[in-house]
Structure 1
Amino acid sequence: MTPLAWLIVVGALLGGGLALLVAELRPGPPDLGAALDRLGAGRGSGMAVEPPARRAGAESATPRLDRLGGRLLDLPGLTLPHRELALLGRTPARFMAHKLLFALLGLLIPPYLVVFAALIGTGLSPVVPVIGSLGLAAALWFLPDLVVRSEAKAGRVEYLHGIAAYLELVALERAADCGPAEALVRAAAVGRSAVFRRITDALDRATLARQAPWDGLEALAGELGLTPLQDLADIMRISGTDGAAVYRTLRARARNLRAELLAEDLARANVDSERMVAPGSALVTLMTVLIAFPAVYQMFRGG
C-alpha cells in the first residue's frame, strides 16, 4: 500500500473511534426498565416481587457498555462522584464505561502517531509511544471526573432554580387550602423540566412505599445533596404533623434561595470580568507595540 493509502486507513480508524466515543458520551433516551425499577423501590413494603424471567429479560436488555462498566465498579480504591451522577441522571456503570473508553483512546493515540511518523519517514524510539500511551491513558482516565463535576455544577444551579419555583408553587397550593401532601403533588405536576420530573418520581416512590411525600423529598435531597429541598421536606413535615401555617415560611425560603442564586451569579460575573482584564491588557500592549514599532525602528536606523 502507498503512504497515502496508509494515511487514509489510519485517519478513518481514528475518526471512527472518535465518532463512537462521541456517540457514547451523548445522553441517550431514558431507560424504561430503570424508571420502573426506581418506581418499584418500595416493593419490599407489600408489593409483588419481580419474576425471575422479567429480571433476566431486563439484564439482557442492558446495554453492553453498562454491563462492561458495571464490572469495573469493584476496582480497589475507586471513588465515584455519586451525587454528581445523580444530579445528571447517569449511572455509575455508564460513568465507568466512559472512563474506560477514554483510557483506551489514550492508549491508542500514540501508536497512531507512530504509524503516521513512520509513513512520513520520521522514526521514533519505541520508548516514546509506550510512555506516551501510559501517560495519556492515565490523564484521560480522570477526564470524565472533571467533565461530570463541571456539568453537575451547572446542573445544580438549574435544580436550585427549579426548587425555588417549586417552593412558590407549593406555597400557592397551601394558600388555596390544599393539604400538605396534596400541595406537594399538585405543585410537582405543574412543571415539565427535569427538576419537576425528579420530584414527581420521588413523590411516586414514597406513595408506593406507603410513606409520607416529605419522606420522599428528604430521600431525594439526600441523594442529590440539595439543602433547600431538605428544608422544604422539613417545613411540609411540620405542616403535615402539627397543622402549622407554612405559606409565609415557604415564600420566605423561596425568596432567600433566589437571593443566594443571584449572589452566586453576580460573583461569577465578577470573576469573568476579572479574567477579561488580562486578554484586554495583552491586546492593548500588542497594538501599542505595532503602532510604535515603525517609528522606533526608523529612529534607531536613522541614528
Structure 2
Amino acid sequence: MWTTAILAGAVIGAGLALVLREFLPSTPKLQAAFDRLGAAAADETITADRPGRHAEFGAWIERRIGFAGFMRAPDKDLSVLGLSLHAHLARKGIYAAAVLAAFTIVGVGNLVQGQFSTSIVMVLPLAFGAWLLPDILVRSKATSAREDFRRAIGTYAELVAMEGYAGRHVSEALLTAAGVGRSWVFVRIRQELNRAQLSGQQSWDGLKRLADSITVPELAEIADIMRLAGEQEVTIYATLKARGKALRVAQLTDQKTGANRKSTNMTWPLLLMGGSFLAILITPAVSRLFSM
C-alpha cells in the first residue's frame, strides 16, 4: 500500500512539475516568437474565448504535437460555437492527459502489488479516445447551434424589413434589427456588423463573411438581398419579409416532419411491449393445453 501511494505521488508530482514548468516565465527564442506570430489562426480575432492559460496550453500543443492540427474539429464548427483553436486543443489535451495519468497510476499500482492490470494495455487507446471526445462534442453542438441560427434568421429578416419600412438605410436597418434580440445569434450578427463598419466594409459583406465562416446559407441569402438593395437601390423589403416568413414556415414544416417521424418510430416499441405482455399472459394457458 505504501509503495503504491509513493509511486502515485511521484507520478502526480512529476506531471504537475512538467505542467508548471511550461507556464514559468522564460526567455523566448526569437525564431520561435516569429513562428507563433505567423501561425495565429485567422478566426482567433473573433473568438468569444477569453485569453488565458488554456489558450497558452493549446498553443503549446499546436507547436509540440505535429498531428494536433489535423486530428481536430473543423474550423467552421469551432467558429459557430465561438471557440478558438487553442482553447479547443487545450481541452483535448486535458482530456487525454487526465485519462492517461489515471489509468497509468492504476496499472502501475497493480503491477507493484504483483497483479496484472488491463489498464496498462488500454491506456493508450483510451487516451486517444479522450483526445477525440471534444471533437465529437463540438460537432454535435455545432449542428445544434446551426439549427438555432437558422431559426433566428427568419425573425431577423422580418425585423430588417420592418426597419426598412420605417425609412432606415440598409446598413442602419441591419444593425438596428440585430440590436433588438438578446440571444447569442443576434449578438454574433451584431458583432460582425460592427466589425464590418469599423473596417470600412459594407454591412452585407460582413453578413456574407459570417455566413461562410459558420456554414449557414440562409444568412448568405439575406446578405445577397441586402446587397441588391444597397448597390442598386431596389426596394426589396417586401421580398425580405416574404423570405423571412418562408424560412419560418419551412422550419415549422421540418419540425412537424421530425415529430411525425419520432411518433412513427415509437409505434414499434409499443407494439413490441404489447406483444410481450400478451405472450406472458397466454404462455401458462398454452403450456397447460399442450401438457394435457
Task: Give me the TM-score of the superposition, normalised by structure 1.
Answer: 0.71
Aligned residue for 2:194? Answer: 204
Aligned residue for 1:228? Answer: 218
After TM superposition, the structure 1 = structure 2 runs for residues 1-303 of structure 1, keeping only pairs within 5 Å, are: 38=46, 62-73=51-62, 75-76=66-67, 77-111=70-104, 114=107, 125-126=116-117, 128-299=118-289, 302-303=291-292
The RMSD of aligned alpha carbons is 3.2
**Contact between 1:84 and 1:148, CA under 8 Å: does it hold in 2?**
yes
**Contact between 2:108 and 2:120, CA under 8 Å: does it hold in 1?**
no
Partner Cα separation in structure 1 for residue 279 and residue 101 of structure 2 = 44
Give the deviation of 1:149 after TM superposition. Answer: 1.2
Partner Cα separation in structure 1 for residue 56 and residue 197 of structure 2 = 31
| Residue 69 to residue 37, structure 1, CA distance change in 2 (3 Å) | closer
Give percent identity, aligned residues only. Answer: 33
Instruction: Read off the aligned partner of 1:280 and give its amino acid letter.
Output: L
> Per-residue CA shift, 1:235-264, capped at 9, x if unaligned?
111111111011121012112212331232
Instruction: Read off the aligned partner of 1:263 and give its amino acid letter.
Output: T
Partner Cα separation in structure 1 for residue 101 and residue 51 of structure 2 = 27
Give the deviation of 1:187 after TM superposition. Answer: 0.8
Instruction: Read off the aligned partner of 2:60 and give its amino acid letter.
Output: R
**Contact between 1:106 and 1:133, CA under 8 Å: does it hold in 2?**
yes
**Deviating 4+ runs (over 6 angstroms):** 115-118
| Matched position secondary structure for 1:178 | coil
Partner Cα separation in structure 1 for residue 224 and residue 58 of structure 2 = 37
Partner Cα separation in structure 1 for residue 72 and residue 92 of structure 2 = 13
Give the deviation of 1:148 after TM superposition. Answer: 1.1
Partner Cα separation in structure 2 for residue 67 and residue 261 of structure 1 = 41
Partner Cα separation in structure 2 for residue 289 and residue 268 of structure 1 = 32
Give the deviation of 1:170 after TM superposition. Answer: 0.5
Partner Cα separation in structure 2 for residue 91 and residue 265 of structure 1 = 32
| Matched position secondary structure for 1:192 | coil
**Contact between 1:38 and 1:205, CA under 8 Å: does it hold in 2?**
no
Unaligned runs of 5+ in 1: 14-35, 40-60
**Contact between 1:80 and 1:92, CA under 8 Å: does it hold in 2?**
no
| Residue 142 to residue 37, structure 1, CA distance change in 2 (3 Å) | closer
Give the length in aligned residue pairs.
250
> Per-residue CA shift, 1:64-98, capped at 9, x if unaligned?
22211122335333343211111111112121122
Q: Determine which structure has greater relative contact order: mean sequence separation of CA pairs < 8 Å that are 6+ residues apart, divided by chain length.
A: 1
Unaligned runs of 5+ in 2: 13-43
| Residue 271 to residue 140, structure 1, CA distance change in 2 (3 Å) | farther
**Contact between 2:96 and 2:131, CA under 8 Å: does it hold in 1?**
yes
| Residue 145 to residue 278, structure 1, CA distance change in 2 (3 Å) | farther
